[in-house]
Structure 1
């Protein structure tokens, strides 16, 4: 039987699974980029203003690293400069999540094993997920191209921007496909794929800032098309070829791989548990330690990179988001909790995978109370966020050469904004587990969108205070907000109390 037999019915099933996730990730991301493009166009409406901006951007290492160079001064060039990096991150993440959720995560929770009992080939789930991810990328490309045309950009460049978006989405779908064959858990596959995305993005930034060759990173290959100036379609071909190689390789590996296994062998466990494993909290911390360490080290590195270019960027821009104080370093510390919230949500959502895999049932058969089990994962998520924030503050302090302890404290005191979201997800896990992941990430996405909308002056600055990230202390240069912080902690405690009450009546399976 061919490994791709049954791909068509699997395609229908995958599309049904993604009927809510795909519009949120691909559609809303594309629309958000159009809104950001409209906002930047309103800020620089004239040719003279765009020319001055291009001269500033292309001589500033900080701008080149964070956003990239600005090629040309047309309307399309301006919008592309501001949105290309955002498009790469959002569309890349969308493809990674679609592929991983419907392949490796499905194997982990036993869904693929049930489907494999029917006339479904080994690689059919992967093939269907790749088709869905490609379709979502294509739709996002069409929406973005239409948005560019609506804003006054020329036709050829707008269509090439849409092709760039599609290429990036397809490329990271292939990356997720091949990574999913290497590791054996959904969390590891997602984490490693996102790490590849971050590494390629940072490489692109380093190349742009140093004036190196764009061919050092696949993201540089797609950017080398330079819509609205060169319109070089041929530079997309290497990225498309790499996407094809990863897709074909992942399908071939999936066809011969044992279900649930990965190319990397499992490490042999210890014959006896460590004396540190004394309860549900130590166990939850143990199984999440890899993600915590990885995120913390990444936060330190990113903080160092941002801190090292902060003074250069501050000479050219006046950044002040959410009252955090002027400057790139302050803005970065303001935005850091929003990113680190992803770590907290993924960590607390491990409750869901533990229940689906049956491991929770084994654990709760012991003298472990459900409330303690839930609190263990919530506390682990809270610690993970706190440690990652401390790492980011440490990186900023070392990069700027300023008071390191002050920057660490400025990052750590923002943790309550993360905690309230993980408490919301914990409450949903105890009441309606199926809604927990979608609701948590949707709320986070809406808060991120709020930042863009206020930054583009579509809403007044007071709208920031609808976000918990603006209610925590905005140290080192902004207001302390002690009352708001106490309110966030109170709501967090109330949500956790609700979760503890509802978990007693939840059917774990």
Structure 2
């Protein structure tokens, strides 16, 4: 009797995980392109920044000077965090740990939601569960996929910095801290996938938590120069910062990360065991008994308005923060010609303040590319979840249905960039006109990214998710390219590399109009492809 009593839970647990290995292999196969691209871009950027700093600050005196000036500037601490060491590794950790951890978190949330809630939303999970697949196998496979991706990322960061000659202990601490944050938010995404009824909401909820963590870290770092603020410690991204890679490593902070990962994983598994496939703990609120939506455009707005409101509020707040930083740009750079050259490559050569503002509007534009990709790909989500076919069975045509979502995507980008420009002007305390124009001039490049994503969806629906890869490449080129002084031919691969540098520079209408025409042609190609192909069944 005793043997049976002890053996039953084990057999039950084994049944709950049945099929995990098969699902893991399937997930790795499906992500065989996405994960390597993410890892190479994020991991490679750490070693690239180290090489760039080695050229910019080639003496100990220069490194000490820049570490002191950046650590003393509260605006720069809010953006990047405090500097714990003036070594090359310490400057790399200062520059990359916050953004690297945030990118690892985004990679993880995409992986986990894709292999959990998206599978349920499309109905594939119910089909798979009819075979010999345990109740918790899909969640386990998704988390293991995220674990493998983050482990490879940690290995690449560690190996890249160690190969550059940096201490192995600091390299390992930086790699583990970055990957640890990624794995923590993988578990956050797993919880969100149990709470919400759609992949879009799960991604939005997790992304909001990542954004809040970054804001908390920024607010805490602005108030203290050693990462000791309570606000910093409330942020998981702040935990990666407080590992203090290359600055007297605090290995025990990694145990805090591991504990938080374990707690969230337990919560996700508990929730997964208490709901049916396809169901959620926060069901979508039913609409009114009598329909009030008179067009496909109204439906698209109803589906996406929450996302637009959230992005709008975020861009307004980010604009105010970046505008407040602008006043300290001159103090930050001082007499360092190399740092001045980086800002001029990012924002033009019309004066340091204008160059800094141009760089900030460019950063907002790069982030807005993520918005337009997510909004356009809502079409793909509606189709694969089989909600589109009943809608098109009525009087609504394909092109009119797609046009409703495209209007939200393209007009929404105008709205969020306008609010970002307003926020910059308010934070900086200067005239709105030039800054607003600088923000709006980013739109043609944003629209090209959105148009290419729609072309992929319309003509090659199985490759639609590659739109995220396009946005990631554009983000990497715009974010890291100027610091690495990449050739203009490489930077020109991004549509943002062809825009005029405003404010301060001259308005160049030719590239703006050309990019707008390219975006229109891409959208037309996507509409033609959508009109001819069969819908996903």
Structure-1-length-normalised TM-score: 0.95
Bigger drift between 366-375 and 173-182 goes to: 366-375
CA distance in 1, matches of 2:36, 2:457: 23
SS in 1 for 2:332: coil
Are 2:283 and 1:269 equivalent residues in the alignment?
no
The correspondence of residues 147-296 of structure 1 with structure 2, limited to 5 A, is 147-211=160-224, 212-213=229-230, 214-274=232-292, 277-296=293-312
SS in 1 for 2:284: coil
Contact kept in structure 2, 1:410 and 1:476, CA below 8 Å? yes
CA distance in 1, matches of 2:162, 2:375: 41
Contact kept in structure 2, 1:322 and 1:461, CA below 8 Å? no
**Cross-structure match for 1:44:** 57
Bigger drift between 137-146 and 9-18 goes to: 9-18
Contact kept in structure 2, 1:374 and 1:426, CA below 8 Å? no
Are 2:119 and 1:112 equivalent residues in the alignment?
no
SS in 2 for 1:456: helix
The C-alpha deviation readout for 1:390-433, integer Å capped at 9, x for no partner, is: 11111111111112344333312321111112111222222111
Q: CA deviation at 1:473?
A: 4.5
Q: What is the aligned counterpart of 1:314 among 320, 330, 335?
A: 330
Paired residue total = 506
CA distance in 2, matches of 1:198, 1:464: 27
CA distance in 2, matches of 1:463, 1:314: 29
SS in 2 for 1:380: helix
Bigger drift between 490-499 and 392-401 goes to: 490-499
Contact kept in structure 1, 2:323 and 2:424, CA below 8 Å? yes
C-alpha spacing 1:349/1:240, structure 2 compared with 1 (3 Å): same
The correspondence of residues 283-432 of structure 1 with structure 2, limited to 5 A, is 283-317=299-333, 318=340, 319-320=343-344, 321-323=346-348, 326-327=352-353, 328-432=356-460
Bigger drift between 217-226 and 320-329 goes to: 320-329
The C-alpha deviation readout for 1:293-331, integer Å capped at 9, x for no partner, is: 000011111111111222013322342315385433321
Are 2:44 and 1:26 equivalent residues in the alignment?
no
Q: CA deviation at 1:488?
A: 1.2
Q: CA deviation at 1:190?
A: 0.8
Bigger drift between 428-437 and 318-327 goes to: 318-327
Q: Which runs of 5+ in 2 are unaligned?
A: 1-11, 334-339
Bigger drift between 467-476 and 73-82 goes to: 467-476
Are 2:27 and 1:14 equivalent residues in the alignment?
yes
CA distance in 2, matches of 1:232, 1:362: 56
The C-alpha deviation readout for 1:24-75, integer Å capped at 9, x for no partner, is: 1123311122112211222112111111111101110111011111112222
Q: CA deviation at 1:182?
A: 1.6
C-alpha spacing 1:111/1:474, structure 2 compared with 1 (3 Å): same
Contact kept in structure 2, 1:386 and 1:415, CA below 8 Å? yes
Contact kept in structure 2, 1:178 and 1:250, CA below 8 Å? yes
Q: What is the aligned counterpart of 1:130 among 122, 131, 143?
A: 143
Contact kept in structure 2, 1:34 and 1:147, CA below 8 Å? yes
C-alpha spacing 1:466/1:357, structure 2 compared with 1 (3 Å): closer
Q: CA deviation at 1:452?
A: 4.7
For the aligned residues, what is the CA RMSD?
A: 1.8
Q: CA deviation at 1:245?
A: 0.4
The correspondence of residues 443-462 of structure 1 with structure 2, limited to 5 A, is 443-452=470-479, 454-461=481-488
CA distance in 2, matches of 1:405, 1:261: 49
C-alpha spacing 1:224/1:459, structure 2 compared with 1 (3 Å): closer
The C-alpha deviation readout for 1:432-476, integer Å capped at 9, x for no partner, is: 1111221x2222222233235541344245754443223345333
C-alpha spacing 1:228/1:494, structure 2 compared with 1 (3 Å): closer
Bigger drift between 263-272 and 377-386 goes to: 263-272
**Cross-structure match for 2:8:** none
Q: CA deviation at 1:247?
A: 0.8
Q: Which runs of 5+ in 1 are unaligned?
A: none
CA distance in 2, matches of 1:167, 1:501: 44
C-alpha spacing 1:52/1:486, structure 2 compared with 1 (3 Å): same
C-alpha spacing 1:221/1:504, structure 2 compared with 1 (3 Å): closer
Contact kept in structure 2, 1:41 and 1:78, CA below 8 Å? no
Bigger drift between 187-196 and 4-13 goes to: 4-13
The C-alpha deviation readout for 1:67-95, integer Å capped at 9, x for no partner, is: 11111222221221122122112111111
Contact kept in structure 2, 1:26 and 1:136, CA below 8 Å? yes
Q: CA deviation at 1:374?
A: 2.1
CA distance in 1, matches of 2:36, 2:490: 25
Bigger drift between 414-423 and 259-268 goes to: 259-268
